[in-house]
Structure 1
Amino acid sequence: MSETRTSTVSVADRSAVVIGGTSGIGRAIALAFADDGADVIATSRDEGRVAETAEELRERGATTREITCNVRENESIEALWDAAEEAFGGADVLVNSAGSVARAPISEMTDEQWGQDIDVNLTGVFRACRVFGREMDEGSIINISSMSAGQARENRAAYCAAKSGVNGLTRAAAADLAPDVRVNAIEPGFVKTPLAGDAFDEGTETRAAIDERTPMERVATPEEIAGAAVYLASDAASFTTGQALKIDGAYDDSAL
């Protein structure tokens, strides 16, 4: 790689693949990339959402492809890389944003719940990093972790374990793939997404508790997380790798 770098926060003229890119944070990242001039494949298991998001990307001027992906299947991730190679000649950016949340106390959590959360949230990230890290000439991988990686969350044992693992995987992958491919994570705090339902709506008990412990006195929007992804994918972050960027409004977790 050339040692000459700019400080420009832009992904214009780059190609990106966003796994879990058809809803919530992943969708916001895919659209932000497109708005900034990147070509983007936004994928998930849902064929309808893939088609819908692809249309939104085209409306923003991005070249895209409609392909589904299941991160629990190696062949599916291999096919995703092949689609990016056919469309763009490869990928400059990979975002791992697919997610699963099993809600149960550890004494009642089933093997199936545990297995799904670990497989989707952690092993799926590993699978994608393995394929794209092997094939990318250079670029940026961004793993969507969570502030729960370092917190005790009731009824979320598998999720917390998986996200903690994502942070460790990010650091290890950064070492393995340097200097050509950078690998970083984003740790969102509470974000208003479809997955959260109406729990974070103003006036709810949950929202009031969050606001009380957050100096910013609100939850984040997906677009606020997307801005960090644009930065990490850009040349402005050319010496940033192996890091986990927390975006939680300075949430106070001291009582957890």
Structure 2
Amino acid sequence: MPEYPKVTVDGKTAVVIGGTSGIGEAIALAFAEDGADVVATSRRADAVADTAERVRDHGARTVETTCDVTDRDSIEAMRDAVLEEFGSVDVLVNSAGVAARTEFLDLTVEDWNRVIDVDLNGTFHACQLFGRVMDEGSIINVSSMSADLARERLLPYCAAKSGVNALTRCASRELAPDVRVNAIAPGFVMTPLTEEEYSEGSELRRGIDERAVLGRVAEREEITGTAVYLASDASSYTTGEVLFVDGGFTRNAL
């Protein structure tokens, strides 16, 4: 009988940028629980320390190092600190992101640049800097279903995530066959930042529940299974893909 690869990250070393909050934090902790050594990083040293403690609680090793995705030198310094500790990186997750909720005609250049710089440029820098040192493995970019939607007051975010999808597909070709590059496109996910916006009874929540095939928003832990799959050897023939995890929202034509 053939031996099929398992959906596990046990024994791997993973870096999760934007891994101290929201979806990124859930992914980092899921990796640690499954047996990976995990570096969860972001700009704030206190958040990095707090998440590192939770990673260690799962028996995983980590390095406490901050990272500002708008600063290429910061990403490079973080990468080098991880390499010094672990020698190699098997998995990179790019989950840092911001949004600017502004009407198009009121959108400032500063807000446009900030979202593009974090969501798209930061992903590019990390993919390139880690792609140069990863002998093999998996890069996972956290995109959004918004990349395929015309959402009101979210122009920079939608544009940036569309760029992330294109970057994912093109980088997958450039880094093949040794490094696979894929993206996860979550739908509406409940996090500490979205709890009030997606609360039961709100107008937005009613619209989500009506259109999503599964009739609800997601918990952030429901995104982690896709991340573990893409980081694992079970996805060894999957690259250049954008996997929608949106409860059927995007493809549900009205």
CA distance in 2, matches of 1:109, 1:17: 33
Q: Does 1:66 align with 2:61?
A: no
Shift of 1:254: 4.1
State the AA in 2 paired with 1:165.
G
Q: What TM-score comes out, normalization by structure 1 length?
A: 0.96
Moved over 6 A (4+): none
The residue that corresponds to 2:173 in the other structure is 175
Shift of 1:200: 1.1
CA distance in 2, matches of 1:44, 1:114: 21
Question: How many residue pairs align between the two structures?
Answer: 252
Select which of 210, 218, 221 maps to 1:220.
218
The residue that corresponds to 1:43 in the other structure is 41
The residue that corresponds to 1:128 in the other structure is 126
Q: Does 1:154 align with 2:152?
A: yes
Which consecutive unaligned segments of at least 5 residues does structure 2 have?
Answer: none
Shift of 1:207: 1.1
CA distance in 1, matches of 2:78, 2:174: 22
CA distance in 2, matches of 1:88, 1:73: 23
State the AA in 2 paired with 1:175.
R
Contact conserved, 1:5 with 1:235, CA < 8 A, in 2?
Answer: no
Computed over aligned residues only, the root mean square deviation of the Cα atoms, in angstroms, reads: 1.3
The residue that corresponds to 1:102 in the other structure is 100
Secondary structure at the residue paired with 1:107? helix
State the AA in 2 paired with 1:139.
G
CA distance in 2, matches of 1:241, 1:227: 17
Secondary structure at the residue paired with 1:135? coil
Shift of 1:149: 0.3
Select which of 31, 34, 48 maps to 1:33.
31
Shift of 1:189: 0.3
CA distance in 1, matches of 2:60, 2:3: 25
CA distance in 1, matches of 2:205, 2:76: 40
Which consecutive unaligned segments of at least 5 residues does structure 1 have?
Answer: none
Shift of 1:5: 7.7
Shift of 1:128: 0.1
Q: Any idea what the Cα deviations from partners look like across 1:184-236, whole Å, max 9, x if unmatched? A: 00000000012214111222222111101112111011111111000000011
CA distance in 2, matches of 1:240, 1:195: 31
The residue that corresponds to 2:5 in the other structure is 7
CA distance in 2, matches of 1:129, 1:30: 18
CA distance in 2, matches of 1:150, 1:65: 36
CA distance in 1, matches of 2:241, 2:193: 26
State the AA in 1 paired with 2:105.
S
State the AA in 2 paired with 1:93.
V
State the AA in 2 paired with 1:188.
P
Select which of 71, 87, 90 maps to 1:89.
87
Select which of 181, 194, 197 maps to 1:196.
194
Shift of 1:65: 0.8
CA distance in 1, matches of 2:119, 2:168: 13
State the AA in 1 paired with 2:232.
S
CA distance in 2, matches of 1:66, 1:185: 25
CA distance in 1, matches of 2:117, 2:127: 14
The residue that corresponds to 1:140 in the other structure is 138
Going from structure 1 to structure 2, the CA distance change for 1:5 and 1:174 (only over 3 Å counts) comes to farther
Q: Does 1:236 align with 2:234?
A: yes
State the AA in 2 paired with 1:66.
E
Q: What TM-score comes out, normalization by structure 2 length?
A: 0.97
